Structure 1
Amino acid sequence: MAALKRAAPWAARNADGAIALGLAIVVGVLGIMPDKIVDDALKVQLVSAATLVILALVATALLRDRARQAPVEEAITSGALSELPRRLARLEEIETLAHSTRLALDALHLVRVLASSQEIAQSHAESRKDTTRWSFKGGTGTYMRAVTLPACVAAARKDKRHLTVRIEVIDPGDPEVCETYAHYRRSLSDAPDGTGETWTTDRARKESYATILAAFWHRQRYGLLDIEVGLSSTMTTFRWDLSSSRLIMTVEDPNMAMTALAGTFYYENSDTELRLSFEQARRVPLEMYKRVPLGDEPTIEEVQELFDGIGVPLPKTYNGRDVVDIARKALRALDPYA
């Protein structure tokens, strides 16, 4: 009785199937009964009738199942399938975002902090190796004159290749920016730097004049050198050195710098920054380098004539000793970080 009670709800929900099953059992029993109990004609008639009833019940079950499945299929078609294009588009957005994130992380990974003077010097050496271009923006370009420019020109001359150099320093004809730069350097340290000198307004002015003189001197001696100098009326606390392979950004701390390889986000945007900044600077007419030939050891007259001819005259208070000092800084500059 307990089994029947459990089976009754199932039979009610599946009446057609239960009836068909019962009839199939009955037909099967009739088929195996002896002829003495059930006449052959009656047996055939009962089996045929039961078979038709079973087929009808099966057809009814199929129609009922189809009727039940129709709303489900409609829901799937109108719901999930209609949402499929939007979900695929969203999936594509996620994949694009993941790709962009990976590229950003790769770019950040290639921006590295240099935490010692040895690392900075090594990075500069690697930047100068086989480079065909160099862009500098900073204060007066002392390290540029002492190390970078001579080394790059020497390497280019050895390989007989073209070299493009762009230099932006503070304008020596602007006393205000020279004083601002000197005051900034003194505020960081009153002690002499690697050159043995302290920073004054006059020194800042002479260092910038020396960078201009060095550019003309090297241009006259290497025909495959394209060099430009821009003079800025504003100072920067950073120094950018950008070569074909990497960017190095240094500050006054000789043990701290940052470098980024070519092709990274930081490198490309710094390149754009240096280009736009140089375009806004006052240009030194280096195309006039042939008008005033400079000797291997430029004389006082040659230096004065050069600066007068390019429209960047030396202060009237400068005497021969000041001119010699500028020439010495231009051609025999001391490495301030040595």
Structure 2
Amino acid sequence: MKRLLPWAGQNADGAIALLLAVVIGVLGVMPDTVVPDETQDQLVNAATLVIMALVATALLRDRVRQAPVEETITSGALAELPVRLARLEEIETLVHGTRRALDSLQLVRVLGSRQEIAQCHAEARKDTTRWSFKGGTGTYLRAVTLPECVAAARRDKRHLTVRVEVIDPTDTDVCETYAHYRRSLADAPDATGETWTADRVRKESYATVLAAFWHRQRYGLLDIGVGLSSTMTTFRWDLSATRLIMTVEDPNKAMTALAGTFYYENCDTELRLSFEQARRVPLEMYKKVPLSDEPTLEEVQELFERVGLPLPKTYNGKDVVDVARKALRAVDPYGEPAARFTRPNVST
């Protein structure tokens, strides 16, 4: 009763209508001896009118109660909705811009093992249409990057652009400087099993030039350029369409940055400008100095003579063979299996 009375007070019209309906329903089922038919009809008609009046009153009361609420919603929250939506859009734009700024601030990620560096290189090579390299002599480039990228481009029948900058093999001073720097870091042989001397630096750079011509002659959609630098760098840059990888002499340390970041874009500009200033090897002469699948000693010597990079006069047949071996059988300094392509057997 305590719960029923307050409810009845708040809904008196509905309670009265319900009560009348019940009473009339009871009278309607009573026998004629108790309530005559004529009286029943009068009571039903009268009660129906009363119930309709009560229902109309309830509807009017509800409308009166809802009017202030509708006015509040219409003039308040709904009126402010466009403004709030605009603010929400501004916040989303700000969050998106902040996220991009934070991504750009994360300039590089440090790689801490040979395996991680090799995996990063593999991801960079995947489906790339361009590659830029700047470093010492390009050993890893010859051993893995160039043959793998060319093989992938040939498989997909797509264009591949490669730009390579290495030490000028005809510059004795820079070759000696680079060899001294490498020896100062470790006197023992490196992962290739050799120690660094000025002669090795010279042969490695010659090998990179020879490898560029060899691959250019075998894939028509390869656009490759080689620049020779008279200065050395302690870093090696490898830049693909998706990421930059910067390695040092420690085979277990490297840095990487994704395309679109501040660091990637600026390194891309640096490599372009540096390549433009380097001494250019005339790769466009690749048709005039054909190389066999297994280049002969005469072919290798003629190649370097025709492109303006004659081999030292002190080189004998063994030295020329060594250059060809380094060009097409380079040992991967990170321990990956050698690239699978025709390996030369330079003959005299």
The answer for unaligned runs of 5 or more in structure 1 is 1-95
Residue in structure 2 matched with residue 199 of structure 1 by the alignment: 196
Residue in structure 2 matched with residue 183 of structure 1 by the alignment: 180
Mapped to 1, the partners of 2:249 and 2:111 lie a distance apart of 13
Q: Is 1:228 aligned with 2:222?
A: no
Deviation string, structure 1 residues 163-211 (Cα, Å, up to 9, x no partner): 0000000000000000000000000001111111000000000000000
Once the 2 structures are TM-superposed, how far is the Cα of residue 101 of structure 1 from its aligned partner?
6.2
Residue in structure 1 matched with residue 307 of structure 2 by the alignment: 310
Matched residue SS, 2:251:
coil
Matched residue SS, 1:135:
strand
1:219 pairs with one of 213, 216, 219 = 216
Counterparts of residues 202-281 of structure 1 (less than 5 Å): 202-281=199-278
Mapped to 2, the partners of 1:108 and 1:239 lie a distance apart of 22
Mapped to 2, the partners of 1:322 and 1:299 lie a distance apart of 13
Mapped to 2, the partners of 1:132 and 1:102 lie a distance apart of 28
Q: Which has the larger radius of gyration?
A: 1
Counterparts of residues 1-338 of structure 1 (less than 5 Å): 103-109=100-106, 111-338=108-335
Once the 2 structures are TM-superposed, how far is the Cα of residue 100 of structure 1 from its aligned partner?
7.0
Contact 2:237 2:247 in 1 (8 A): yes
Once the 2 structures are TM-superposed, how far is the Cα of residue 110 of structure 1 from its aligned partner?
5.5
Sort the Cα spacing of 1:154 and 1:98 in 2 relative to 1 into closer, same or farther, 3 A. Answer: closer
Once the 2 structures are TM-superposed, how far is the Cα of residue 336 of structure 1 from its aligned partner?
1.6
Residue in structure 1 matched with residue 36 of structure 2 by the alignment: none
Once the 2 structures are TM-superposed, how far is the Cα of residue 117 of structure 1 from its aligned partner?
1.2
User: When the two structures are superposed, what TM-score results if normalisation uses the length of structure 1?
Assistant: 0.70
Q: Which moved more, 1:100-109 or 1:267-276?
A: 100-109
Matched residue SS, 2:231:
coil
Matched residue SS, 1:193:
coil
Sort the Cα spacing of 1:146 and 1:101 in 2 relative to 1 into closer, same or farther, 3 A. Answer: same
Mapped to 2, the partners of 1:189 and 1:101 lie a distance apart of 45
Once the 2 structures are TM-superposed, how far is the Cα of residue 309 of structure 1 from its aligned partner?
0.2
In structure 1, what residue type is equivalent to 2:238? D
Matched residue SS, 1:235:
coil
Equivalent pairs counted in the alignment come to: 244
Deviation string, structure 1 residues 8-38 (Cα, Å, up to 9, x no partner): xxxxxxxxxxxxxxxxxxxxxxxxxxxxxxx
Mapped to 2, the partners of 1:287 and 1:219 lie a distance apart of 9
The answer for unaligned runs of 5 or more in structure 2 is 1-92, 336-348
Once the 2 structures are TM-superposed, how far is the Cα of residue 102 of structure 1 from its aligned partner?
5.1
Deviation string, structure 1 residues 33-52 (Cα, Å, up to 9, x no partner): xxxxxxxxxxxxxxxxxxxx
Identical-pair percentage? 85
User: When the two structures are superposed, what TM-score results if normalisation uses the length of structure 2?
Assistant: 0.68
Once the 2 structures are TM-superposed, how far is the Cα of residue 108 of structure 1 from its aligned partner?
2.4
In structure 1, what residue type is equivalent to 2:206? Y
Once the 2 structures are TM-superposed, how far is the Cα of residue 97 of structure 1 from its aligned partner?
10
Contact 2:206 2:323 in 1 (8 A): yes
In structure 1, what residue type is equivalent to 2:316? N
Deviation string, structure 1 residues 101-150 (Cα, Å, up to 9, x no partner): 65432212352111111111110000000000000000000000001000
Contact 2:107 2:262 in 1 (8 A): no
Contact 2:107 2:263 in 1 (8 A): no
Which runs of at least 4 in structure 1 moved beyond 3 Å after TM superposition? 96-104
Two-structure CA RMSD over aligned residues (Å): 1.7
Deviation string, structure 1 residues 39-92 (Cα, Å, up to 9, x no partner): xxxxxxxxxxxxxxxxxxxxxxxxxxxxxxxxxxxxxxxxxxxxxxxxxxxxxx
Contact 2:289 2:299 in 1 (8 A): yes
Q: Which moved more, 1:256-265 or 1:105-114?
A: 105-114
Deviation string, structure 1 residues 218-264 (Cα, Å, up to 9, x no partner): 00000000000000000000000000000000001111111000010
